[in-house]
Amino acid sequence: MSVDMAVRPAAMPHETGGEGYVRIVDVRKEFEGFVAVDDVSLDIRKGEIFALLGGSGSGKSTLLRCLAGFEQPTRGSIWLDGQRLDALPPYERPINMMFQSYALFPHMTVEQNIAFGLKQDGLPKEAIRTRVAEMLEMVQLGKLARRKPHQLSGGQQQRVALARSLAKGPKLLLLDEPMGALDKKLRSKMQLELVNIIETTGVTCVMVTHDQEEAMTMATRIALMDQGWIRQVGTPDEIYESPANRFAAEFIGPINLIEGRIGEDKANYVTVLSPALPVPVYVGHGITGVQGQEVAFGVRPEKVWITKDEPDQPCNKARGSIEDIAYFGSHSIFHVRLPSGVKVLSNFANQQRWASEGLTWGDEVWVSWADDDGVVLTS
């Protein structure tokens, strides 16, 4: 895994009929005086659940609305299954969307909501009825077919919204903050349920979310967006384990970032010298950098070991004292302050009751990590 593999250069030649089922080619969207989507190119494969992940103002929702047809890109093109989409109005695109907080028609029953799209196509009544029954069974809402949306719970409404957006058998399904309107407990249950239903139908899916956990649970690949840019594209573990840059490293999960300079840069290893650490950092893979270049070394807290005795390794270790202990039940997070002032977080899985009892505030400890456990970030 190379560290910066995931950023696609925007100038890469794009021709239709390539590998992407959905192809977003140099799409730019400007609103009065500000750029919401800044020359984004993406290829999304057939059958994928693809997440656009980012904070507010990252341009993820605007990009989704460009796909749905509610916004016209300022320039660039969007292709789906070889067909150019960006000139088509939303009602002529073979795309359906599950809206944030669902946008169910309040004056229609569950059945009528699901049938709405089929009716617009002028299907015969019998065909509509069969299809609606099929969809109701898929989301297990047969008993509630005659209810109005306001008589349903949040989770039920979500399933109606999903059934409505899948009823027409779209080529592409869009999910806008699918869990946004649910409480935390229901979320994790519905995330898996939603993925199961989507995978049964085999539909290609693009979802927008600000919640990294949601993106990692549901998506096969994630595009991390920031200020209209794509900062990294990759599978959840690629993004987590090999972040391409500081933004990606810090956006997803906690990470210890240590500033330093490249010491030795060889084909199969690299060392980073940091004033914060007494010994060099040794990373067991090569990067594209030059000696002396300013970089950051990142290592996730769960890969940092905490021991009372000095570990038997020449690199990747430091001595410090425990400043804080955050107890989460399943694990504890130790905040270790190094003599240089840098704080290192270490996860300690509480696999045995009272196992962490030996360590307490103010204890002098060693933090360490293995050669392959960290990444060097050049940007």
Question: Cβ closer to other proteins: 92 or 324?
Answer: 92
| Per-residue exposure over 253-292, b if at least 16 CB sit within 10 Å of its own CB, e if not | eebbebebebeebeeeebbbebebbeebbbbebebebeee
∠ Cα 336 337 342 (to 5°):
115
Q: Measured from the CB of residue 197, what is the shortest distance to other proteins in angstroms?
A: 18
Determine, following the binding rule CB under 8 A, whether residue 147 of this chain makes contact with other proteins: no
Determine, following the binding rule CB under 8 A, whether residue 31 of this chain makes contact with other proteins: no
Query: Tokens for 310?
Result: 């000095």
Determine, following the binding rule CB under 8 A, whether residue 91 of this chain makes contact with other proteins: yes
The dihedral formed by the CA atoms of 236, 302, 345 and 327, expressed in degrees to the nearest 10: 110
Determine, following the binding rule CB under 8 A, whether residue 105 of this chain makes contact with other proteins: yes
Determine, following the binding rule CB under 8 A, whether residue 124 of this chain makes contact with other proteins: no
Which stretch of DSSP H or E encloses residue 239? helix 236-241
Of 10, 35, 103, 186, the residue at the interface with other proteins (CB under 8 A) is 103
Question: Cβ closer to other proteins: 206 or 342?
Answer: 206
Question: Cβ closer to other proteins: 8 or 148?
Answer: 148
Of 150, 185, 266, 353, the residue at the interface with other proteins (CB under 8 A) is 150
Determine, following the binding rule CB under 8 A, whether residue 106 of this chain makes contact with other proteins: yes
Determine, following the binding rule CB under 8 A, whether residue 97 of this chain makes contact with other proteins: yes
Of residues 237-296, which lie at the interface with other proteins (CB under 8 A)? none
What's the CA gap between 212 and 256, in Å, rounded?
Answer: 18
What's the CA gap between 305 and 109, in Å, rounded?
Answer: 56
Of 60, 131, 159, 168, the residue at the interface with other proteins (CB under 8 A) is 168
CA dist 248 to 5, 35, 233, 375, 377, Å?
A: 13, 21, 10, 12, 10
Identify which of 367, 312, 305, 307 has the alpha carbon closest to the alpha carbon of residue 336. 367
Determine, following the binding rule CB under 8 A, whether residue 46 of this chain makes contact with other proteins: no
Determine, following the binding rule CB under 8 A, whether residue 231 of this chain makes contact with other proteins: no
What contacts 216, CB < 8 A, 6 or more positions away?
222, 236, 240, 252
Identify which of 45, 334, 42, 199 has the alpha carbon closest to the alpha carbon of residue 53. 42
Determine, following the binding rule CB under 8 A, whether residue 117 of this chain makes contact with other proteins: yes
Of 33, 89, 341, 362, the residue at the interface with other proteins (CB under 8 A) is 89
- The site string for other proteins over 55-84 (x = CB under 8 A, - otherwise) reads -------------xxx--------------
What's the CA gap between 162 and 175, in Å, rounded?
Answer: 9
- Stretch of 131-139, 164-172, 221-229, 273-281 contacting other proteins, by CB under 8 A: 164-172
| Binding residues for other proteins (CB under 8 A) | 68-70, 89-92, 95-97, 99-100, 103-107, 116-117, 120-121, 148, 150-151, 164-165, 168
